[in-house]
Amino acid sequence: MELDRHKCAFVATAERSSMSQAAVASHLSQPVLPKRVRRLEDAVGPNLSRT
């Protein structure tokens, strides 16, 4: 499910406090990870990573 991939991207970012480190750990290119987090925000509500 696509939403699961978006949640994994968010969790990886939260655990590492860095989009670039999360992208490396998730085996994704750096531009893909923020897009997934944004799509998750669109689905569940804004500003998940901007607190």
Q: What is the pLDDT of residues 1-51, one digit of tens each?
A: 688 888 888 889 889 988 899 999 989 898 998 898 888 888 887 776 554
Burial of 50: CB neighbours in 10 Å, binned 0-12, 13-18, 19+: exposed
Which residues have C-beta within 8 Å of that of residue 14, sequence separation ≥ 6? 49
pLDDT value of position 1: 63
pTM, two decimal places: 0.72
| Distance, CA of 17 to chain centre | 11
pLDDT value of position 24: 92
pLDDT value of position 49: 58
Classify residue 30 by its DSSP letter. T
